[in-house]
Structure formats: structure tokens, C-alpha cells
């Protein structure tokens, strides 16, 4: 089984069929610091709705998405 990740604009969340991905709802997805991006993930077969999403980035594997999510786009600055 191969988990696939896709970064999408949060404005496209209404197109996501949550019964076909690992996330449960638009309220529970992780968002970028500025809340303009999120990501979805699925196992093996790409859900049909993915082709309708505008501005998607990917697909990525686990290692690639881990690197992306470690950037300042996804991790807020820590005030010391």
C-alpha cells in the first residue's frame, strides 16, 4: 500500500469527497500558517475528484510531504 499526498488550496476543499481520503472533514485538515493551503492523502488509487482540483501541488510520497511540512509555510515561527 502506498500513501499519496496532495497539497491543495483551502479554497478547493469543497471539492474533496472525504469518504475517499484519509481526512474526515474540511474542519479537521491541517492548514498552512497563512491558511491558504492544506493537504489530503489517500492509499493507492487516486480519487476521481482530484482531477477537478485547481492549483494542486504533487502528488508526493511520505518522505516528500514530510520535507514540505517542515518548512516555514507549514510551521509557525516560535517566539522565544
- Distance between CA atoms of residues 11 and 60, nearest Å: 20
- 39-64 burial by CB neighbour count: b if 16+ within 10 A, else e? bbbbeeeebeebeebeebebebeeee
Q: Give pLDDT, residue 49.
A: 97
pTM over 0.85: yes
| Each residue's pLDDT tens digit, 39-48 | 999 998 999 9
| Each residue's pLDDT tens digit, 21-65 | 999 999 999 999 999 999 999 998 999 999 999 999 999 999 999
- Distance between CA atoms of residues 35 and 2, nearest Å: 27
Cβ neighbours of 22 (radius 10 Å): 11
Amino acid at each position: 500500500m502506498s500513501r499519496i499526498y496532495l497539497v491543495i488550496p483551502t479554497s478547493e476543499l469543497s471539492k474533496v469527497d472525504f469518504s475517499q481520503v484519509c481526512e474526515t472533514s474540511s474542519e479537521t485538515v491541517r492548514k498552512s500558517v497563512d491558511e491558504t493551503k492544506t493537504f489530503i492523502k489517500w492509499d493507492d488509487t487516486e480519487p476521481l475528484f482530484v482531477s477537478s482540483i485547481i492549483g494542486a501541488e504533487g502528488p508526493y510520497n511520505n518522505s516528500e510531504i514530510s520535507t514540505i511540512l517542515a518548512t516555514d509555510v507549514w510551521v509557525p515561527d516560535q517566539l522565544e
